[in-house]
Amino acid sequence: MKKIYLIILTILAVSCQNNHKVMVRLTDNGDCIFENDRVAYRIYGAQSDIISPGADIWVKAQGKLILNKWYKLSAKDPQYFYHNHTGKKEYPGKDCYNAQSYSFNAGASVPIYQDSLVFPTQNFDKFEIIESTKSKVVFSLHYPQWTIGENTVELTREITLAANENYCTIDDEYDGDFYSLACLVGISTQDVVDKNEGLDYIITWEKASDQSVESEDGMIGLGIVMPENYKMEYNEERHYAVAHFETVRGRKVSYAIGSCWSKGNIPSFDEWKKLVSY
């Protein structure tokens, strides 16, 4: 009887896990991965060669959580390579976005000093899950002190991802021995074929930036939304789309980053524009 009871509990636990539409965790190498039923992200940790608070993205079909399965298959089978699995029916999607060091990538805020971006010199060193339910996760990442001019700065980010959304919200809080700090919040631009700007947002539609495996990866949509009316800038020369803002020590700055895939739930740029009314 006890054995049957344990089997039932195991089945129920697996069933509950399968019903989740969001997840967040650290990988074995210290990266933070998180996803919902539409989008999937990675933010690099201390062991990564890529130094950036900017999010990396995976593209996938709508409806399933796939990151745990991808990591598990990659660990078990050296031939499994999720950069080249768009056609997989069970876990359709792939990694075809080219994240880089000292870049906004798919979304971040970065201080600016004397017209130069001053990125954190290390990736996050602390990770905490604040809330985790079947339909929403809230977690924080802390970036240790780095120097900007004559001041020291550290950053705590609180990220919220809910089910059925292409956008996640981020609250960035800078602390240190300064009073005010000029910053940009934005996304990197790579091979953009279309864009749209509004008073509080910029969205792009670009070719997949990592085409070393497949010649056809579909299109990737990126977006940045600032709830407050800051100056927006699309800069082709510097390869970014940003909002300018100034913050003070200890104040949270809120914004949202979004992504989509033309082979997922957003097939066209017109559909991506409709969604920016976040």
pLDDT tens, position by position, 212-255: 555 567 899 999 999 877 889 999 999 999 999 999 999 999 99
The answer to the question of residue 220 being in a domain is yes
The answer to the question of residue 133 being in a domain is yes
Provide the pLDDT for residue 97.
86
Provide the pLDDT for residue 79.
65
Burial 52-91 (b: 16+ CB within 10 A, else e): bbbbbbbbbbbeebbbeebbebeeeeeeeebeebbebeeb
Which of 3-12, 40-49, 202-211 has the weakest average pLDDT? 3-12
Domain of 133: which CATH number?
2.70.98
Provide the pLDDT for residue 3.
45
The answer to the question of residue 269 being in a domain is yes
Over range 111-132, report the average pLDDT. 98
Provide the pLDDT for residue 209.
67
Q: How far apart are CA 169 and CA 258, in angstroms?
A: 9
* pTM, to two decimals: 0.89
Q: How far apart are CA 126 and CA 28, in angstroms?
A: 15
The answer to the question of residue 157 being in a domain is yes
The two structure tokens encoding residue 29: 């190498």
Sign of CA dihedral 178, 127, 252, 243: positive
Give the rounded percent of residues in the chain with a pLDDT score beyond 70. Answer: 85
Q: How far apart are CA 210 and CA 229, in angstroms?
A: 33
pLDDT at 42 over 90: yes
Provide the pLDDT for residue 86.
47
Q: How many domains does the chain have?
A: 1
> Which structural domain range is residue 233 located in?
22-275
SS3 for 4?
helix
Provide the pLDDT for residue 6.
35
